[in-house]
Structure 1
Amino acid sequence: MIGTIKAETYEDVSNLRSTLLTSYNADMLPVNDQTRSLNINLSTMVFTMPEVDPVLGAIKMGIMVTQEWYDERLTWTPSDHNGTMVFSMKAENIWTPPLTVSNPVTFTLLDTPWMQATIMFNGKVMFTVGGIIQFSCSFSMKFWPFDKHICTLNLFPYGYMASRVTFSVPGTIVDTGIYSENGEWYLDTNSFDYELGTVFGMSEIVYSFKIARLSSFYMLTVILPINGIGMLTCLVFLLPSESGERVSYAITIMLSLAVFLTVTAEDLPKNSKPIPIICVYILFNLIICILGLLFVVLNLIIFNRTKKVKMAEIYKSIVRFTKRKSLRRKIRVEPLRKNSTAKINVKSREPVKVFEHRRADEDIEWKDVSDAIDKILFVLFVVVTYIPSIIILIYTVAASEYVRGEQ
């Protein structure tokens, strides 16, 4: 026995199309009872995120959204049309949801009339739209360049109230199987979630996701150079005062930090809530550098004083403080008696309680005072520069968490 196989022909599909569209109005909601609402199932896919612009507050993302609904005006019996069960036609010929981004940088309508919609015999319509879209996201830059953000993509059916068109997500929230990674930003592909709501009285679906900046580039080009420049600020106190280069050296370092502050500001949104910690960090280093320049100038004034300027006791104390180790190595002498000379106790070599302060004070010059101040300032600036820097960097890395920017 030989069976026959029915296969739809061009004429079968063409006749079916003409029959379905004879009394079809693409401007009306495709339900027989116009008091009912139409539910649309959404399946979303993300395939790229080519650009994230925190300064503009925008993200470019490549998405495809497959919409499925039942069109009660597009049903037929397959046996009446040579077994035809499914066919496609341009979306402009039938009703399709005007899917729109509700948080766009510029108005974005995903509905494309020339794209094909797939129609099944039971009225099920599958229509896929998408492309590279740009939508807004508010960035909190407090922990830049270790910042993490929660952004949203909001979609709604433009022109249809919530009582007429509703959304639902029956399966996977967002498919990221073919996602192409961004070199600067990490997209947590497992973080996609959604929330159904309303906007302007229309149904809205809000997709939320997490992104984090890959900070390695900024560590090498911003953070480490700033730390290196901070070290150079401390070294200004090791330069000999006779070199005549101390002031120009300090000014050069200060200008370098100012350049880094300018470069960093270009990558940040022009708002002050919240202020990025890294800007405070750079400003702190800049202030330290300015203080270093101020102390260098004042110390040069002390260095160039002559013996005619009377030396206060505090300056002599500073010199004695910086030379206390060398003084301890000197042979100590017994207390001086009137009309007698001090003798050294060679046998016992026991320490005696009094130094020869008078002789040491007579040898102190203003140059010695300047050198002593340089030693103290060097140690002080090393501590002030590096301890706060380490604390700030550790806090910035450890405290950074995913936050939703203020809208």
Structure 2
Amino acid sequence: MFITFCVLFLYQTVSLDAFTIANETNLRSHLFNGNYNANVRPEQMLTIRILFNLLTVNELNIKEQSFEVSGWLTMLWDDSRLSWKGDEYGGVNYIFASQTDLWRPALVISNAVKQFEIIEDEYTPLRIGNQGRITWEPPGIYKVSCTPDITYYPFDTQTCHLTIQSWGYNLLELNVSVLEKGINLKEFQENGEWDLIDSETKVGQSTDAKNDEYGQLLFCFTLRRKSQYYWLNMLLPVIVNSILTALVFALPAESGEKMGYSLTTLLSFAVLLTLISDKIPSTSTSTSIVVVYFSVVLVLGAMAVIFSTMVLGFYFRENDEPVPFYLRFLFKNIMGRLVCYKKCTESSNVVPYGLSENQPTEKQHTGSTIKRDMYLQREQTQLKLKSSSWVESEDDFDWKDISKVFDTFMLRLYILIITSSTAGFLAAGSLGG
């Protein structure tokens, strides 16, 4: 029991000696004496290793062409003037100092949007190890410029970068390099609009007017837009509206609702565009495929009104006015054949297959054999005469026929255009996503 008590006492004594105010005060007096100058860099050629710890992606603003993230930088460098033996100062192996007490690198965010200034934080202390290793971790919200490519919006993937550059010290005096992987995502929290699909760090250089080179680090972030919201609130209503536009040609001209229906679909699409216009990014560098698709649907809606007017004009034209040859040729021989249109009239003089008009009846054929009578009776039972049937009329092709052919042709044409344009839009969007 006595031995255990002595061991615990010695352990606590050593632990208490590891840090005392007196020990650290003596150490600071030794390090920051009159010989240390915070304006003098530690070495002639110094390397700063940097790691970016990403917390959140706050915003990627397409219209403002800006990218904002939150996180903190981890910077490491060595200063041999700030080294000591820990056992000489009661086991003190590290201390903290403010940015005004010692030399620190002059670094800037070279593509910053608002605050273009030297990175500094008077409230974040610098950690100094007994080997002269200095660690500084200033936090911040960084808003930088980013030039997006909206070609595949809203299925787009964007790459933005945050650039840290040495300011004042050229490559012969100060170099920047990557610490670990360059970007730490252990504390990263996902964004509601963007998925972070890749990140990397690149080492670069910049040259000033005097051809002096300066070290750069580019922290690159690749983001993919989450498109579920845009599917439900933007794309699906437009696709449905385009289908409704095509159905105007399925509405009979005699219903009296064709013109009102076409105008209603056009106005509804105009209202829809007004509601979603704020969501569509506007830049002059590229044109989005969704803008092209919406333009196609808008033109189809406007042309549907014009075509409906033509259909009604043909349908209600007086039949005593002859159909010009070129219209007859166009709508009957070309469009009519494309849509397989046949005008039919009623006839009551059709004789069933197997019988002729001059074929003798049963009364006229009293001398026939029993076998022939049974054959005729079987044929008459299997083939029932109809009072009327439909036959194609070659000569009678009036204005109403032109209207019906035009309606059918435009219905199929619109379905083809809308289907192909929608499929092309989705296929192009899959390339961007």
Q: Classify the TM-score, shorter chain.
A: 0.7 to 0.9
Classify the secondary structure of the residue corresponding to 1:173: strand
2:183 partner amino acid: V
Shift of 1:269: 4.5
For 2:253 and 2:68, the matched residues in 1 are separated by: 56
Q: Is the 8 A contact 1:149 1:212 kept in 2?
A: yes
Pair 1:370-2:403 in alignment: yes
Q: Deviation per CA, 1:276-333, whole angstroms, max 9, x where unpaired?
A: 1111111111111121111111222222212342223544737975674674998997
Deviation at 1:150, TM superposition (A): 2.0
Could you say if the C-alpha distance between residues 344 and 224 of structure 1 is closer, same or farther in structure 2, counting changes exceeding 3 Å? farther
Report if aligned partners of 1:45, 1:64 keep a CA contact under 8 Å in 2: yes
2:343 and 2:32 map into 1 onto residues whose CA distance is: 104
Report the secondary structure of 1:167's partner residue. Answer: strand
Helix, strand or coil for the counterpart of 1:74? strand
CA deviation string 1:105-132 (max 9, x = no partner)? 1124432122111111221111101222
Secondary structure of residue in 2 paired with 1:45: strand
1:184 is matched with which residue?
193
Q: CA deviation at 1:206?
A: 1.0
**Higher relative contact order, structure no. (Cα contacts within 8 Å, ≥ 6 residues apart):** 1
Residue 135 (structure 1) shift: 1.0
Are 2:133 and 1:100 equivalent residues in the alignment? no
The equivalent residue for 1:357 is 393
The residue that corresponds to 1:29 in the other structure is 41
2: CA distance, partners of 1:225 / 1:208: 36
Unaligned 5+ runs, structure 1: 335-341, 350-354, 402-407
**Which residue of structure 2 lines up, in the alignment, with residue 203 of structure 1?**
215
Write the distance in 2 (CA, Å) between the matches of 1:328 and 1:146.
54
Query: Offset of 1:244 from its aligned partner?
Result: 4.3
CA distance in structure 2 between the aligned counterparts of 1:305 and 1:384, rounded to whole angstroms:
29
Secondary structure of 1:112 counterpart:
coil
CA distance in 2, matches of 1:320, 1:102: 67
Offset of residue 376 of structure 1:
2.0
Q: Secondary structure at the match of 1:71?
A: strand
Which residue number in structure 2 is paired with residue 317 of structure 1? 332
- From 90, 98, 101, the counterpart of 1:90: 98
Question: Which of structures 1 and 2 has the bigger CA Rg?
Answer: 2
> 1:337 matched to which residue of 2?
none
Identify the residue that residue 313 of structure 2 maps to in structure 1: 301
Change (3 A) 1:262 1:231: same
Letter in 2 for 1:113: E
SS class of match (2:191): coil
Q: Report the counterpart of residue 364 of structure 2 in structure 1.
A: none
Q: Does residue 18 of structure 2 align to residue 7 of structure 1? A: yes
Q: Over aligned residue pairs, what C-alpha RMSD do you find?
A: 3.2
Residue 234 of structure 1 and its aligned partner are, at CA, apart by: 0.8
Change (3 A) 1:173 1:320: closer
CA gap of 1:233–1:85, structure 2 versus 1, over 3 A, is same
Sequence identity of aligned pairs in percent?
26
* In the alignment, structure 1 residue 57 sits paired with structure 2 residue 57: no
Conserved? CA contact 2:109–2:164, under 8 Å = yes
Residue of structure 2 in register with 1:45 after alignment: 53
In structure 2, stretches of 5+ residues that fail to align are: 360-375, 384-390
Deviation at 1:37, TM superposition (A): 1.4
Separation of aligned partners in 1, 2:345 and 2:315: 26
Q: How do residues 4-403 of structure 1 correspond to structure 2 at under 5 angstroms?
A: 5=14, 6-23=17-34, 24-31=36-43, 36-108=44-116, 109-189=118-198, 191-198=199-206, 200=208, 201-261=213-273, 266-313=278-325, 314-315=327-328, 317=332, 324=341, 327=344, 357=393, 361=396, 365-397=398-430, 399-400=431-432
C-alpha distance in 1, partners of 2:271/2:183? 43
Cα shift at 1:236: 1.2
2:131 is paired with a residue whose SS is coil
Counterpart Cα distance in 2 of 1:259 and 1:326: 41
* 1:207 CA displacement: 1.6
Q: Would the aligned equivalents of 2:343 and 2:401 in 1 still touch at CA under 8 Å?
A: no
For residues 375 and 211 of structure 1, do their structure 2 counterparts lie closer, same or farther at Cα, with a shift above 3 Å needed? Answer: same
Q: Kindly provide the amino acid, as one letter, of the partner of residue 7 in structure 1.
A: A
Answer yes or no: is the 8 Å Cα contact 1:69–1:125 preserved in 2: yes
Q: Against the structure 1 CA distance between its residues 141 and 260, is the aligned structure 2 distance closer, same or farther, given a 3 Å change threshold?
A: farther
The TM-score normalised by the length of structure 2 is 0.78
- CA gap of 1:332–1:285, structure 2 versus 1, over 3 A, is farther
Aligned with 2:80: secondary structure? coil
